[in-house]
Amino acid sequence: MHRPIPLPENPRLTSQNVTVVIPSLQGDGGELWDTIKSILATEPHEIILVTVGAQEQRAREVAKDLNLSRVRIYSVSQPNKRRQMVRAIPEIQTEITIFADDDVTWPSTLLPWMLAPLEDERYGGVGTNQRLRRAERPNLQRRIWGYLGALYLERRNFDCASCMVIDGGLPCLSGRTVAYRSSILRDPAFTYEFTHEEWLGRYQLNADDDNFITRWLISHGQKISYQHHKQAEVLTTLEDNPKFLRQCLRWSRSNWRSNITSMFCDGHIWVHQPWSTYAVYLTTVSHWALAWDTFLIYLFFDMAKCWPNNAREMGLAALVGWMFLSKFLKLMGHYVRYPGDFLLLPVSIVFGYFHGLIKGYAMFSLNVTAWGSREGADDDDAYRMIRVSPKHQEGFGYRDAMCNPQ
């Protein structure tokens, strides 16, 4: 069982050692300001909101009206999260930086838990568990989509917690809320690589920011931590309509790009996180639920064709039960909290198999970075994946082209 790093008796780091950076497309909106208020309740040193273009002035007006003196506001010309993060980094004056999405709700107890691992200088980044903020009185359609989103986060929490116990690894420190040492972010080498990552040797990649930073920490000998604790639980929102499928497609493309880079280009995870590599990273290329489950059942019938009928039926029931249990265990925590959702279990099983189609489509469209689920997010989508000049591609072999040549 995962045990988070406990709170120290005499902590060196406090909330006043923390600056929170929120990259946002918005300069106003109830969800954004609710997020800011929940963060301010934890008493960080300050919040830096980085928005886009003309939204800066609107954000300043609202912050003034709400008397939010601890919120500084900046903007960039293009809506790109990496550029927004880089815009904030030179302004940070504290030892710890936390990046947060603009649709999260923090518990008032969050910061001590996120700071606890960073008391140890060997740790460079800290993530936390996440739950879906459930809609109030949703109709059946919204409830089903919300249920699928809640299971996505539940499965991710399970993977992160189990990998952390076994080998200290993580698939990714999620950018929804994540803490880093500011000294790492200020490193000119980091800034350059962060703003010049290449994909396939043909594109400059300006998406997948949290995946990049996780890889950077691992490859530079920094330990990472995951604080799975109720008092460190961040609430977030996901689409509760068919746009959730577009979110799944975006996440799947990001997983393909990042995990291929981690396994076959960077390579550090094979040494530092062998179990995580097997249990999480490799599943990107090896796990196809419908194909493998069908194959297992075919093999069973081929093997058991000479068995008596009773033995064959019992064997099939055991196989199907094992397949079901292996998928259900990761989600058990959700059903303990919301037993009524057990009625929707068939939906999750069908969607699990359908997700293989999403994953397959994502595999053949890795140069696409569109969100498709948020207004204004794709106004400058072409900036997230920029084709580099042919001259820059010359002289590289296959592995060099795959592995971000410089």
pTM: 0.91
Cα separation, 174 vs 100, in Å, equals 9
Average pLDDT over every residue of 129-153: 95
CA 219, chain centre distance (Å): 19
Cα separation, 166 vs 15, in Å, equals 30
State the DSSP code for 119: G
Cα separation, 350 vs 366, in Å, equals 25
* 240-290 residue pLDDT tens: 999 999 999 999 999 999 999 999 989 999 999 999 999 999 999 998 999
**Quick one: pLDDT at residue 380?**
63
Cα separation, 99 vs 103, in Å, equals 12
User: What are the angstrom distances between the C-alpha of 243 and each of 248, 250, 274?
Assistant: 9, 11, 35
CB of 153 closer than 8 Å to CB of 236? yes
Backbone angles phi, psi at 371, to 5 degrees: -75, -55
Q: What is the maximal distance between C-alpha atoms in the chain?
A: 79
CB of 223 closer than 8 Å to CB of 168? yes
CB of 120 closer than 8 Å to CB of 103? no
Average pLDDT over every residue of 217-223: 95
**Quick one: pLDDT at residue 30?**
84
Backbone angles phi, psi at 224, to 5 degrees: -125, 155
Residues of the chain with pLDDT > 90, as a percent, come to 76
**Quick one: pLDDT at residue 382?**
67
Sign of CA dihedral 102, 43, 171, 386: positive
**Quick one: pLDDT at residue 67?**
80
Q: Where are the alpha helices (DSSP H) in 262-308?
A: 269-272, 274-276, 283-286, 289-303
User: Is it the case that residue 316 has pLDDT exceeding 50?
Assistant: yes
Cα separation, 203 vs 103, in Å, equals 30
- Given pLDDT bands bounded at 50, 70 and 90, which one contains residue 226? very high
Backbone angles phi, psi at 329, to 5 degrees: -60, -40
Q: Which H or E run includes 53?
A: none
User: What are the angstrom distances between the C-alpha of 363 and each of 249, 253, 254, 265, 292?
Assistant: 10, 7, 10, 18, 18
User: Is it the case that residue 79 has pLDDT exceeding 50?
Assistant: yes
Are β-strands 385-387 and 203-205 bridged in parallel, bridged antiparallel, or unpaired? antiparallel
Between 15-29, 147-161, 294-308, 376-390, the lowest mean confidence (pLDDT) is in 376-390
Average pLDDT over every residue of 162-171: 92
**Quick one: pLDDT at residue 396?**
39
CA 65, chain centre distance (Å): 33
Amino acid at 176: R
**Quick one: pLDDT at residue 381?**
61
Burial of 281 (0-12, 13-18, 19+ CB in 10 A): buried
**Quick one: pLDDT at residue 404?**
47
**Quick one: pLDDT at residue 397?**
39
Structure tokens at 150: 């809640």
**Quick one: pLDDT at residue 199?**
84
User: What are the angstrom distances between the C-alpha of 404 and each of 200, 334, 400?
Assistant: 7, 39, 7
Q: Average pLDDT over the chain, rounded to whole? A: 90
> CB atoms < 10 A from the CB of 10, how many?
5
More confident residue, 370 or 112: 112
**Quick one: pLDDT at residue 406?**
39
Cα separation, 298 vs 228, in Å, equals 39
Average pLDDT over every residue of 72-93: 94
Question: What is the dihedral angle through the alpha carbons of 202, 205, 210, 214, rounded to the nearest 10 degrees?
Answer: 30
* 362-405 residue pLDDT tens: 999 998 888 765 665 556 666 677 877 655 554 433 334 445 43
Between 17-31, 296-310, 369-383, the lowest mean confidence (pLDDT) is in 369-383
**Quick one: pLDDT at residue 82?**
93
